[in-house]
Amino acid sequence: MIAAAIAWFGMWLPQAAFAEIPQISARQRAEKKSFTDAQISDGFFKAAFGAEYHLAGRVDRIRKYEVPVRIFIDGTAPANRVSQLGTIIGDIARRIRHIDLAQVKNKAEANVTATLVRDRDLGSTIARLYGADKAREIKSSLDPQCLSGFSKNETFQIVRSEVLLTVDNGDFVFHDCAYEELLQSLGPINDTDVPWTMFNDEVSLGFFGIYDQYLMNILYDPRIKAGMTIQQVKDVLPAVLKDVREWIGKINNLPQ
């Protein structure tokens, strides 16, 4: 599975809903769940700064939503794909402590649009969103099976995101793409070489893994602000990571 991302100017809840997909359940059983502070920090800095492919603006600052995130599912798709994506949205919302994220039925209320398309229509949809020239660049640079991108303001706050998902490449690809692209649309848009994260193009999971829960909960901790530099993040990261460890342990029933 090839995914791509671009940037431009409680309670423990098991992921049992996906257990019937063999590729996902196998990966869940084999998932690494224990990480050092250094391993988590390394992945966070690699994913949260920079960009795999960007169209405009600086990429050396934290980018995130500072407002509620509202996701609208668009496009013509089988009912099961719409239902699956709704479940994924809910799972993400439950596992990131300090984010206000929900699905909406009215596109006008949304700042994230997740468009479901057939694989054969992906290229034309990218061209419609980004223009023919940029679509050719994206095709030659990334050749994606799914895609996400966001626009940010002058303070590096994300103001809008677009997510494109194909519906006809099988259950595993759909879940893997949906999790990766939705999460990347929230800020961590750089491709990495870290072996435990879906923000590595060589890694396919199909679920919101423990390691990526660490990264997303660090990003959306209130002490991590849009526009912060690497050094500013380093100054507050030890205290943030301590609290994030407690949260991840609680919602995943991990040994303390």
- Per-residue pLDDT reduced to its tens digit, 186-243: 999 888 999 999 999 899 999 999 999 999 999 999 999 999 999 999 999 999 999 9
In a domain, residue 159? The reply is yes
Residue 68 domain flag: yes
3-state SS, residue 224? coil
What are 149's strand-pairing partners? 6, 162
Instruction: Establish if 40 belongs to a structural domain.
Output: yes
Asked, for residue 197, whether it belongs to a domain, the answer is yes
Q: Is residue 110 part of a domain?
A: yes
Domain range for 67 is 3-9+19-249
Other Cβ atoms closer than 10 A to 191? 21
CA 246 distance to own-chain centroid? 22
- CA distances from residue 125 to 185, 193, 229 in whole angstroms, order as listed: 17, 29, 34
Counted domains in the chain: 1
State how far the Cα of 239 lies from the Cα of 248, in Å rounded to an integer: 15
Predicted confidence pLDDT, tens digits, the chain (256 residues): 444 554 444 333 444 445 579 999 999 999 999 999 999 999 999 999 976 554 445 668 999 999 999 999 998 888 999 999 999 999 999 999 999 999 999 999 999 999 999 988 888 888 887 777 776 776 665 557 788 989 999 999 999 999 999 999 899 999 999 999 999 999 998 889 999 999 998 999 999 999 999 999 999 999 999 999 999 999 999 999 999 999 999 999 998 7
| CB of 244 closer than 8 Å to CB of 218 | yes
Q: Does the predicted model carry a pTM greater than 0.85?
A: yes
Structure tokens at 82: 């719409």
* CATH number assigned to the domain comprising residue 144: 3.40.390.10
Residue 255 covered by a domain: no
Domain membership of residue 122 (yes or no) is yes
In a domain, 103, yes or no: yes
